[in-house]
Amino acid sequence: MKQRVWLRRNGPSFTFCSKSDAKEWTIHEEKSFNSNNKEKEEDWKRYSPLFETDWDKRATIDSMLRVDHAGEVGAREIYAGQLAVLRGKRISEVIEEMAQQEEKHFQCFEKLLVERRIRPTLFLPLCRVAGFSLGALTALMGEKAAMACTVAVEEVISQHYNDQIRTIHERKWKEEEHLKQTLREFRDDEMEHHDTGIEYEAESFPFYRNLTRIIQWGCQTAIHITRRL
């Protein structure tokens, strides 16, 4: 079972602890840092970045990239499902262009998972099936419904990337500057897809509001689940 190391404050002291995946606390090693003792205070400053910041950062980045990878798998399948129904129609070229950008995003996150030794979500097969089914179903409802699906999904993904960019910026993770720039680039692509959906009359679909709410709820649920599993 994987263990994470934590520091817990206990008055003027700090305790090294490990937190198992089962959420049970066990004392791993105990060491007091008296705030009135200059030498001990220097000890705390030395240990703090290792046990507090670095471990937290690794867990946060792992979660980010796991969700992003799952999201791009789903997005790629959504466009594949739409093309399976709408190929040859006037809008198919637009969908193919967006699908190519999603493929680029997917390949990037696939590479990052391997490089950083991050396992993908356990729900990857479900992401594929759900994505393709959603794309095909909305395409069967018509081109405007397909574009409404695009608007709903891309709005959630754009906001999700914005949240990740903000996290990296606020925590001053300078070594993740390249990742932040990648997320910005992909965020801009997703916003462009969103605007394309609006341009192709997504909002004129009769059940636009209800459909987009349902799809966005599904996307947000998927994000929540794939953060850890």
Total structural domains within the chain: 2
Last residue of one domain, picked from the residues 12, 27, 52: 52
User: Binding site for Fe cation: what residues are annotated?
Assistant: 72, 102, 105, 154, 190, 193
User: Binding site: what residues are annotated?
Assistant: 72, 102, 105, 154, 190, 193
Tell me what pLDDT residue 8 has: 46
Residue 31 structural domain = 3-52
Same domain, 96 and 9: no
Name the residue among 175, 172, 167 with its Cα closest to residue 116: 175
With contact defined as beta carbons under 8 Å apart, do 16 and 31 qualify? yes
With contact defined as beta carbons under 8 Å apart, do 81 and 51 qualify? no
User: What single letter denotes the amino acid at residue 130?
Assistant: A
Same domain, 38 and 72: no
Same domain, 36 and 109: no
Same domain, 112 and 190: yes
Same domain, 108 and 39: no
Tell me what pLDDT residue 54 has: 65
Same domain, 195 and 208: yes
Same domain, 109 and 31: no
CATH number of the domain at 164, please: 1.20.1260
Same domain, 38 and 65: no
Same domain, 202 and 102: yes
Same domain, 41 and 60: no
Q: Give me the residues paired with residue 4 across strands.
A: 19
Last residue of one domain, picked from the residues 34, 52, 70: 52
Tell me what pLDDT residue 27 has: 36
pLDDT values of the chain reduced to their tens digit, one per residue, 229 residues: 334 444 444 444 444 444 443 333 333 433 444 445 455 444 444 444 444 456 678 888 899 999 999 999 999 999 999 999 999 888 999 999 999 999 999 999 999 999 999 999 999 999 999 999 999 999 999 999 999 999 999 999 999 999 999 998 888 888 888 999 999 999 999 999 999 999 998 999 999 999 999 999 999 999 998 887 8
Same domain, 48 and 129: no
Tell me what pLDDT residue 2 has: 39
Backbone angles phi, psi at 159, to 5 degrees: -65, -40
Same domain, 19 and 39: yes
With contact defined as beta carbons under 8 Å apart, do 120 and 71 qualify? no
